[in-house]
Chain A
Amino acid sequence: MTMISKLKSMAVKSPWIYRINAGSCNGCDVEMATTALIPRYDVERLGCQYCGSPRHADIVLISGPLTRGVVDAALKVFAEIPDPKVTVAVGVCPISGGIFRESYAILAPIDQYFPVDVNVPGCPPRPQAIIEGIAQAVAIWRDRL
């Protein structure tokens, strides 16, 4: 293994997470906060850390069906995140719109707007599923570094 790939395999042990709420009902956001913050599903042991600023993030978790009101702001924030980044769509809403499906106010599926790498379906998804989604995102991130 060369020096660079050794360093890269150390670098992937520090995925910093940023959440974008694209019009979510807050159910998935509660699950995401739960995943990291309560003792039972501690993701800090994987080196994860929620960061306040999109500029510091490596992995983006997007929840919600992308309402018309939020699309510009969400795209703007997404552009602020430096490359290499990985996008995880959390919940069923980003895939199909979930219970808001066929509403005039939403733009789901969101992969028309964001390059989604991992989908974590569920309404809301279990914390274990979100952790697995983050783990898959880390594997994708390794190749992009």
Chain B
Amino acid sequence: MSMQLGILIAVFLFPGGLFALALGLILKGLDRRVAARLQGRIGPPLRQPFYDLIKLAFKRTMVPTFANQPVFLGAPLVGVVSMLLAVALVPLSGVYDPNPILGNLIVLLYILMIPAVVLMIAGSSSASPYGAIGFSREMTLMLAYEAPIVLVVLAVAMRVGMAQGEVMTFSLTEIIAYQRANGIFLLDPVMWPALAAFALFFPANLGIIPFDIPEAETEVLEGPLLEYTGPALGLFKVMSALKAVVVLSLGIALFAPLNLGGVWGFLGWLLELTLLMEFGVTAVRLSMGRMRIDQAFAFFLKWPLLLATASVVTVALAT
């Protein structure tokens, strides 16, 4: 009984659910605020994403005449549920360990794909030509970044697994335990190619500026989200807030878990998350322009794939 209760708390309260949602929204607010300050503006308050969500809840939901209504309204729900599960799957070093029954790194990789699939379904079910363009761009981008991230995860799994006498381990808890004992992968030269490939992957997965091609509001008017109004659009905002927390904390778990516990471990994790958001997301999106979809596709099949393959080879040779 207590196991079920623990899982429910992990999914709905901490570190998933309400906590992750609040954290994701505050990170988003911080991102907008810092972006404004870097441009010499004052910027919105930190609570702005909360105001946006409340506003969206008051608006009317409209479904286009030719849209497939159940799919159109069901897609954002699937996205939010998948991300709630994903947050509960990522451990916080020294603070939270997910119950092994929830799944391991492979399950997490599958769940991380769902938001992109949900956006594709949303775009194609909305019966809008812009949604269809967004659908095709989202799919192209996903095909491009999926291979490097799988190889990065493989490299980390091999590094930890071979040290323990197995071929590879896909338990994030074991990966964190190994790094706590032997130093974090951020400072391990063997893992630097994997780290670089991950750094190139996560802007694409979060859909921020060099790779926000599917939702480019100046070209395809927010693509898959074009036809969504009110609460349904709010669910997409919830999904992307949760996804930011999942992807950033996955990066922390794979490469830089802190060797701390309890309150200090939690505060350190928050600090790492904020730094990663500011330098990995805000600074990147302000200093670049948007790529074309063919450029992004060629880019991902060149550098991240090369780096990720190199990381698997170096890990295999180094251990």
Q: Which residues of A contact B (CB under 8 A)?
A: 7-8, 10-14, 16, 39, 42, 44-47, 51-53, 55-56, 58, 82-84, 145
Residues of A within 8 A of B58 (CB): 7-8, 11, 84, 145
CB distance from A83 to the nearest CB of B (A): 5
A-B complex: 3 closest residue pairs judged by Cβ atoms: A52-B217, A42-B41, A52-B221
CB distance from B62 to the nearest CB of A (A): 5
Provide the bound-state CA to CA distance between A39 and B40, in Å: 6
Instruction: Establish whether residues A14 and B55, one from each chain, have CB atoms under 8 Å apart when the complex forms.
Output: yes
| Interface Cβ pair total, 8 Å cutoff | 85
Provide the bound-state CA to CA distance between A12 and B274, in Å: 28
Instruction: Establish whether residues B43 and A42, one from each chain, have CB atoms under 8 Å apart when the complex forms.
Output: yes
Residues of B within 8 A of A16 (CB): 55
Instruction: Establish whether residues B43 and A44, one from each chain, have CB atoms under 8 Å apart when the complex forms.
Output: yes
Provide the bound-state CA to CA distance between A88 and B296, in Å: 39
Residues of A within 8 A of B39 (CB): 39
Size bin of chain B's contact surface = 20 to 34
Instruction: Establish whether residues B48 and A13, one from each chain, have CB atoms under 8 Å apart when the complex forms.
Output: yes
A selection of 25 A-B contacts at a CB cut-off of 8 Å is A10-B51, A11-B54, A11-B58, A14-B51, A14-B54, A14-B55, A39-B39, A42-B36, A42-B43, A44-B32, A44-B36, A44-B44, A45-B43, A47-B48, A51-B222, A52-B222, A53-B217, A53-B221, A55-B226, A55-B227, A55-B233, A56-B225, A56-B233, A82-B60, A83-B59
In the complex, which of the residues A8, A11, A14, A42 contacts B42, with contact meaning CB atoms closer than 8 Å? Answer: A42
Provide the bound-state CA to CA distance between A39 and B35, in Å: 12
Q: Is residue B140 contacting chain A, with contact meaning CB distance below 8 A?
A: no
Instruction: Establish whether residues B218 and A52, one from each chain, have CB atoms under 8 Å apart when the complex forms.
Output: yes
Instruction: Establish whether residues B41 and A45, one from each chain, have CB atoms under 8 Å apart when the complex forms.
Output: yes
In the complex, which of the residues A14, A39, A84 contacts B52, with contact meaning CB atoms closer than 8 Å? Answer: A14
Residues of A within 8 A of B230 (CB): 82
CB distance from A13 to the nearest CB of B (A): 4
Chain A residue at minimum C-beta to C-beta distance from B221: A52
Q: Is residue B229 contacting chain A, with contact meaning CB distance below 8 A?
A: yes
Chain B residue at minimum C-beta to C-beta distance from A145: B58
Q: Is residue B228 contacting chain A, with contact meaning CB distance below 8 A?
A: yes
Instruction: Establish whether residues B41 and A11, one from each chain, have CB atoms under 8 Å apart when the complex forms.
Output: no
Residues of B within 8 A of A12 (CB): 55
CB distance from A144 to the nearest CB of B (A): 10
Q: Is residue B14 contacting chain A, with contact meaning CB distance below 8 A?
A: no
Provide the bound-state CA to CA distance between A51 and B54, in Å: 17
CB distance from B47 to the nearest CB of A (A): 8
Chain A residue at minimum C-beta to C-beta distance from B35: A44
Instruction: Establish whether residues A47 and B60, one from each chain, have CB atoms under 8 Å apart when the complex forms.
Output: no
Provide the bound-state CA to CA distance between A45 and B37, in Å: 11
